[in-house]
């Protein structure tokens, strides 16, 4: 008989324990307690029937010698059928409870992550967050649906088997009571070593998962930089580290299981020899000896299930801490009790400072007023604070000093959804969401938009012919991150997506950088036809069309040092003049 030992898992932080696990499950997973209790009761019935089957086999063997075993055989068949039904029903109910609970937990975790503020994502890796949603919740599922019920059955089997063994023969039971503590003396210290190894494996596996997400997401960059060799080596090193820990793990288990099996076989051998002597002296029947041996196996085999529960609890409590770290992170305050912003007429930065870290300011004493309908170009060297400035307008962050007002009121007096609904934002790096062209164009839209309107906007940005060539039209799948669509097409789709919202403020972060001259001109003409009261802020890196902007803001080291049209800045702003001429000198 083989006894398998499961390696121990991650040992969590001391402040976390089983109580925290139960709190997480009851608060966020909402398990169906009624089905779970019925499943446990049926599992209890199945285990009792299993113990009863062994006892009936003893009676059957003893009665068989006297020719009166027919009735017992019928009763045995009934108990076997009951045991089978109870086992099947219990397994289904417990597994269903686990699936339902983990689905609820995953949904809660998913929804919470969606509502987390931008700064949270600035400091947490994508691969780790995805691992929490998938891997850690799977650990909780395994505990609820399998480990817990197996351990309950194991404890019932151990207690029931030991009780019946004592009733059958006390002296034979002493042998088992000697072997089990000896096995525990081996299992406990080995389990602690396996726990440390398993913790290291989990850590390295999480690192591999995170690295894989980055590698797959940046596959074009890897190939463009001919970095396959370096990435292969990085992956191999990571896999080898996991392999090294795994080899240490299987070495210990490879030694542990045979040692325990030998001890178990030795105990059974002693029981058979000593039991045979008792049978010969009529102190024990053959049926009782067979039953005793079966109970000995039924008692020792579940030890791995009980050990597995302890292991699973350690692993799951560790997963609980990681999940709690996410669920306890405050969601973005959308200020839903605030006023609804219906249009953006003016924006006032009143001596605003901001830094992602308190001692490292990115924006410094920004003093700026923007009026409805203005067309503004925002320029400056990389790192000067341009994107950070517009991020404050999107309410991704709040100023660390100074006031940011909209329409004469503090920006934080408005609900965040209403602020963002009034802003159309197009970034330089456009990633489309999974789904169709229509899904992407209507992303976040709260109103129905007719296909004719979408097609008209697509025509204005030069995508009419491309759309006509697609057999599925607006229902064409854009592929993962929009990779079925060219960079220029993605850029124009993003512009249309922003305009569909009919915003009162349009922010373009070098939105035409991926376009050729012809399509860039089309987009420029489209922007020129937009309503006169639509405010536009364009972050500009290429200055070939800078003269077209009535107002230009020049940023240096987090400060706005220039504010005027092209001619006035050329005449009065030395840094702008050098910046403009330097770009043209280099083409």
510 in catalytic set:
yes
Contacts of residue 159, defined as CB under 8 A and 6 or more positions apart, other chains included, come to none
Tens-place pLDDT, residues 342-398: 999 999 999 999 999 878 899 999 999 999 999 999 998 888 999 899 999 999 999
Burial environment of residue 447 by CB neighbours within 10 A (0 to 12, 13 to 18, 19 or more): exposed
| Domain 18-327 listed as CATH 1.10.3720.10 | no
Cα–Cα nearest to 278, from 293, 264, 263? 293
Task: Tell me the two tokens of residue 45.
Answer: 């019935």
Q: Which of 59, 204, 321, 510 is catalytic?
A: 510
Contacts of residue 211, defined as CB under 8 A and 6 or more positions apart, other chains included, come to 127, 234, 235, 238
pTM above 0.75, yes or no: no
Contacts of residue 206, defined as CB under 8 A and 6 or more positions apart, other chains included, come to 127, 128, 131
List 357's β-bridge partners, or say none: 360
> Which element (helix H / strand E) includes 363?
strand 363-371
Is residue 545 classed as helix, strand or coil in its secondary structure? Answer: coil
Radius of gyration of the chain (CA): 35
Tens-place pLDDT, residues 569-579: 999 999 998 88
Query: For helices 303-327 and 70-114, what crossing angle results, to 10°?
Result: 20
Mean pLDDT confidence for 205-232: 73
List 425's β-bridge partners, or say none: 507
Q: Positive or negative CA dihedral for 454, 460, 461, 462?
A: positive
- 8 Å CB contact between 179 and 263: yes
- 8 Å CB contact between 387 and 118: no
Confidence tier at 66 by pLDDT (50, 70, 90): low
Phi, psi of 509 (to 5 degrees): -95, 85
pLDDT at residue 369 in the model: 96
* Pairing status of strand 505-509 against strand 423-426: parallel
Cα–Cα nearest to 423, from 348, 539, 533, 506? 506
* Pairing status of strand 551-556 against strand 559-564: antiparallel
pLDDT at residue 399 in the model: 94
Mean pLDDT confidence for 102-106: 88
- Domain range annotation of the chain: 18-327
**CA 163, CA 160: separation in Å to the nearest integer?**
5
pLDDT at residue 8 in the model: 40
Tens-place pLDDT, residues 230-269: 778 888 888 888 888 888 888 887 887 787 778 778 888 8
**pLDDT exceeding 70 applies to what percent of the chain?**
88
């Amino acid at each position: 008989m083989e006894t398998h030992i499961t390696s121990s898992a991650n040992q969590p932080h001391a402040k976390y324990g089983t109580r925290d696990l139960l709190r997480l499950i009851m608060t966020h997973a909402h398990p169906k307690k009624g089905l779970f209790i019925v499943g446990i009761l049926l599992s209890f019935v199945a285990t009792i029937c299993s113990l009863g089957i062994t006892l009936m086999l003893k009676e059957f063997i003893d009665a068989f010698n006297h020719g009166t075993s027919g009735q017992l055989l019928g009763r045995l068949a009934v108990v076997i059928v009951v045991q089978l039904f109870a086992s099947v029903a219990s397994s289904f109910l417990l597994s269903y409870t686990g699936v339902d609970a983990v689905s609820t937990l995953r949904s809660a975790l998913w929804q919470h992550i969606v509502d987390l503020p931008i700064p949270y994502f600035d400091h947490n890796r994508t691969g780790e967050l995805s691992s929490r949603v998938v891997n850690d919740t799977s650990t909780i599922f395994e505990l609820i649906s399998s480990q817990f019920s197996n351990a309950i059955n194991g404890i019932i089997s151990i207690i029931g088997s030991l009780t019946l063994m004592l009733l059958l023969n006390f002296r034979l039971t002493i042998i088992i009571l000697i072997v089990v503590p000896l096995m525990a003396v081996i299992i406990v210290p080995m389990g602690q070593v396996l726990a440390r190894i398993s913790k290291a494996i989990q850590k390295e596996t999480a690192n591999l998962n995170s690295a894989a997400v980055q590698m797959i997401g940046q596959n074009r960059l890897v190939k463009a930089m001919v970095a396959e060799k370096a990435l292969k080596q990085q992956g191999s090193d990571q896999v080898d580290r996991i392999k090294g820990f795994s080899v240490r793990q299987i070495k210990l288990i490879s030694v542990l299981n045979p040692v325990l099996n030998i001890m178990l076989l030795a105990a059974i051998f002693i029981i058979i020899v000593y039991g045979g002597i008792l049978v010969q002296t009529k102190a024990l029947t053959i049926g009782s000896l067979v039953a005793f041996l079966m109970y000995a196996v039924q008692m020792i085999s579940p030890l791995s299930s009980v050990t597995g529960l302890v292991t699973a609890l350690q692993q799951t409590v560790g997963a609980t801490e990681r999940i709690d770290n996410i669920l306890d992170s405050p969601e973005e305050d959308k200020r839903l009790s605030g006023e609804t912003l219906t249009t953006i007429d003016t924006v006032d930065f009143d001596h605003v400072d901001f830094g992602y870290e308190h001692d490292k300011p990115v924006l410094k004493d920004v003093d700026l007023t923007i009026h409805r309908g203005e067309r503004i170009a925002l320029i400056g060297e990389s790192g000067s604070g341009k994107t950070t400035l517009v991020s404050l307008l999107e309410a991704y962050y709040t100023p660390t000093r100074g006031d940011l007002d909209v329409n004469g009121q503090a920006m934080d007096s408005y609900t965040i959804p209403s602020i963002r609904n009034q802003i159309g934002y197009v970034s330089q790096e456009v990633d489309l969401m999974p789904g169709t062209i229509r899904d992407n164009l209507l992303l976040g839209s709260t109103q129905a938009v007719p296909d004719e309107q979408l097609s008209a906007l697509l025509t204005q940005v030069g995508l009419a012919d491309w759309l006509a060539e697609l057999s599925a039209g607006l229902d064409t799948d854009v592929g993962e991150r929009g990779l079925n669509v060219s960079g220029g097409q993605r850029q124009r789709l993003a512009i249309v997506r922003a305009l569909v919202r009919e915003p009162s403020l349009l922010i373009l972060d070098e939105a035409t950088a991926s376009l050729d001259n012809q399509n860039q001109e089309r987009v420029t003409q489209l922007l020129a036809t937009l309503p006169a009261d639509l405010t536009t802020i364009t972050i500009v890196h290429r200055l070939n069309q800078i003269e077209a902007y009535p107002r230009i803001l020049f940023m240096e080291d987090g400060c706005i040092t220039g504010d005027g049209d092209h001619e006035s800045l050329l005449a009065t702003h030395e840094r702008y003049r050098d910046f403009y001429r330097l770009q043209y000198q280099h083409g």
